[in-house]
Structure 1
Amino acid sequence: MLLALLLCYGGFTALCLSMDRHHSELLGRKASLQRRRIFKLTGWALLTVSLWAAVSKTGWGLGLVQWCAVLMLSGLTLVLLLPYRPRLALSLAGLSLLVSPVAAMAQC
């Protein structure tokens, strides 16, 4: 479940960065249309891969339940960090994407 959690957090952060307000708040510049599309596509791709990571280990019955729990936890973490510690939220997203290959190797 660690891999799904890391990918969900990275995906939600990428979707967050695809919005003008959050992009300018976190990165300090206005997002171009192409950059916003890339972040949106990356975010949805990461959420899709996190679903695969959750379901591949435990099957559809339990995997979907665990994935929903991971979605809520990662979304709540991001929502709570954005107003108070926006740089920490961005750093955690980068760290989660760096650590996810290690979690993928541990899951296999």
Structure 2
Amino acid sequence: MLVALLMCYAGFTALCLSTDRHHGELLHSKPSPRRRLGLRAAGWLLLTVSIWPAVVIAGWGQGLVQWCAVLMLSALLLVLLLPYRPRLAMNLAGIGLLACPVAAVATL
């Protein structure tokens, strides 16, 4: 479930960075239309693909339920970090993406 959690958090962070407000806060610039589209696509792709590790580990019945819980947990973590520690929120997403392959190998 760690892989799904890391992917969901990174996906929500990418979706968050696709907005003008959060992109400006974190990266001190307005996103170009191309970057905004890329961030949205990456965010939705990560959220969609994050279903796969949950289903592989626990099956369709429990996997989807656990994925929904992981989805809510990652969104809650991002919402709580963004107002108080925005740089930490963005750094955690990058570290999480780098740690995804390691966590996937560890669950084998």
TM-score range, shorter chain: over 0.9
Number of residue pairs the alignment of both structures matches: 108
- Per-residue deviation, residues 37-67 of structure 1 (Å, max 9, x unmatched): 0000000111111111111111110000100
Matches of 1:48 and 1:56, distance apart in 2: 14
When the two chains are superposed, the root-mean-square deviation of aligned CA atoms in Å is 0.7
User: 1:94 maps to what in 2?
Assistant: 94
TM-score (norm 2): 0.97
4+ residue runs over 2 A deviation = none
Q: Distance in 2 between matches of 1:53 and 1:14?
A: 20
Give the AA of the match of 1:99.
A
Secondary structure of the residue aligned to 1:30 is: coil
> How far did 1:26 drift?
0.8
Tell me what 1:31 maps to.
31
Taking the TM superposition and a 5 Å limit, the aligned residue runs for 1:1-108 are 1-108=1-108
Tell me the distance in 2 between the aligned counterparts of 1:47 and 1:64: 13
Once the two structures are TM-superposed, the CA of residue 28 in structure 1 deviates from its matched residue by 0.7
Give % identity. 69
* Structure 2 residue identity aligned to 1:97: L
Structure 1 counterpart of 2:104, one-letter code: A
